[in-house]
Amino acid sequence: MAAGFSKGRPRLGFLGTGWIGRHRMSAIIEADVAEVAAIAEPSPETAAEALALAPGAERVDALDALLAMGLDGIVIATPSALHAEQSVLALASGAAVFCQKPLGRNAAEVQAVVDAARAADRLLAVDLSYRFTEGMRRIREVVRSGELGRIYAVDLVFHNAYGPDKPWFYDPKLSGGGCVMDLGVHLVDLALWCLDFPDVAQVGAQLFAAGERLGPDPSQVEDYAVATIELAGGTAIRLACSWRLQAGRDAVIEAAFYGTGGGAALRNRDGSFYDFTAERYRGTAGEVLASPPDPWGGRAAADWARRLAAGERFDESAQELVQVARVLDRIYGR
Ligand SMILES: NC(=O)c1ccc[n+]([C@@H]2O[C@H](COP(=O)([O-])OP(=O)(O)OC[C@H]3O[C@@H](n4cnc5c(N)ncnc54)[C@H](O)[C@@H]3O)[C@@H](O)[C@H]2O)c1
């Protein structure tokens, strides 16, 4: 296959094969549209687990070595501080990129990656995995059909009873932020995606760490945040997210849309991180749009691989990633 790009069965390299990298690798293997040609992962144990999934893959030292192979695409699942720089290098070398979220620690980093993808004319996608739940797919359809009338309110919630276990998540220089960067990014994306990325008028937020208020552009990561995002058309989006909130369950996850003609909401079932129910509301009555089981976790990765195999190049919708990152920057007051 020609270096960097051609239609057919793309050869992929996997950079970082921790739990999330291996999960997405399995989804791409299952989709059976691409070859896992190589992996780069510093931990020998972790690399061995990845090679068990893809026995034909070569293990190389680092990104440079992956890029020297002239692969068609690179799947990045390294710590967040590395995402933007690694994505830019991969795109500039002619490879398409599928990157874990967040694509960058701030909007400037995200814009640099999108610019690199546009300049190289390569397919760029980010693992905004909740877009690929059947529930959100149905809710977006209902919202965009106009059935709910004018959407004037959106409620977004993601409380995770646990916090990340890797130290870098707690250094804002490395992570870009706490629970907003980790969990809020998914929700802000879902809201703007369902509403076709309208302009954002105003953003206000309160951030906390261990119950204490943080100021703007904090030097500590937040573990609780509330934010109000006012869209140019007047729609009010309320966001609440946290790590280690004592909420009596593993997780509270919600994306609810309220319009002049009804409502629709995605909610996790019984505190689950994985099981969601989507409903459409008329007054006090509810109709189920989607319910478990729905194995959605690997769909964004498989979708990118399929699009790459179909010969897709840069897609201008990648610019939406910058819009989400700008909202996050405003939540952080920077
Ligand atoms: N899409 C989602 O819903 C979702 C879910 C979980 C995690 N994530 C994201 O995945 C990313 C990774 O998170 P994690 O908890 O697996 O982190 P992690 O610290 O375990 O790192 C992942 C892997 O990258 C490897 N690595 C580190 N530096 C590397 C380098 N220079 N080159 C190649 N490999 C390198 C590590 O050895 C590790 O195996 C984070 O950015 C996180 O936000 C996304």
- Report the separation in Å between the CA atom of 82 and the middle of ligand 1, taken as the mean of its atom positions: 9
Same domain, 106 and 139: no
Q: How many angstroms separate the CA atoms of 56 and 17, rounded? A: 15
> Does residue 258 form part of some domain?
yes
CATH number, domain of 59, equals 3.40.50.720
- Point out which residues pair with 15 in neighbouring strands: 40, 76
Who contacts 8 (Cβ-Cβ below 8 Å, separation ≥6)? 1, 309
Number of domains in the chain: 2
pLDDT digits (tens, 9 = 90+) for 9-23: 999 999 999 999 999
Residue nearest to atom 3 of ligand 1 (CA): 129
Q: How far apart are CA 30 and CA 3, in angstroms?
A: 24
Give the closest residue (by CA) to ligand 1 atom 35: 16
Q: Which domain holds residue 282?
A: 134-295
329 within a domain of the structure (yes/no): no
**6 domain-assigned:** no
The reply to whether 90 and 150 lie within a common domain is no
What CATH number should be reported for the domain holding residue 205? 3.30.360.10
Cβ atoms of residues 35 and 12 within 8 Å: yes
Please state the pTM of the whole predicted model: 0.97
Q: Does one domain contain both 50 and 140?
A: no
The answer on 191 and 79 residing in a single domain is no
Dihedral sign, Cα of residue 318, residue 241, residue 278, residue 194: negative
The reply to whether 163 and 280 lie within a common domain is: yes
In which element (H, E) is residue 31 found?
helix 19-31
Evaluate whether residue 328 is within a structural domain.
no
pLDDT of residue 138: 98
320 domain-assigned: no
- Tens-place pLDDT, residues 281-300: 999 999 999 999 999 999 99
pLDDT band at 116 (very low <50, low <70, confident <90, very high): very high
Please tell me the distance from the alpha carbon of residue 151 to that of residue 136, in angstroms, as a whole number: 16
**Residue 96 and residue 160 in one domain:** no
d(CA 242, CA 225): 6
Please report whether residue 327 resides in a domain.
no
Q: In ligand 1, which atom is closest to the CA atom of 19?
A: 16
Query: What pLDDT is stored for residue 1 in this prediction?
Result: 38
Q: Indicate if 117 and 156 belong to the same structural domain.
A: no
Residue type, 137: R
31 plus 164 within the same structural domain: no
Q: Is residue 306 part of a domain?
A: yes
Mutate to test the pocket of ligand 1, among 64, 100, 188 (most ligand atoms within 8 A of CB): 100
User: pLDDT value at position 298?
Assistant: 98
Residue-wise pLDDT tens digits, 247-270: 999 999 999 999 999 999 999 999
Residue 13: enclosing H or E segment and its boundaries? strand 11-15
SS3 1: coil
For residues 174 and 270, state if they share a domain: yes
Torsion of CA 21, 23, 29, 30, to 10 degrees: -160
Asked if residue 281 and residue 225 are part of one domain, the reply reads yes
Residue 311: its pLDDT value, please? 97
Q: List residues near ligand 1 (CB under 6 A).
A: 15-20, 40-43, 46, 62, 77-80, 82, 100-101, 127, 129, 166, 182
Same domain, residue pair 63 and 170: no
Supply the residue whose CA is at minimum distance from atom 16 of ligand 1: 18
Per-residue confidence (pLDDT) for residue 272, from 0 to 100: 98
C-beta separation of 187 from 136 below 8 A: no
Tell me, yes or no, whether 326 lies in a domain.
Answer: no
96 and 180 together in one domain? no
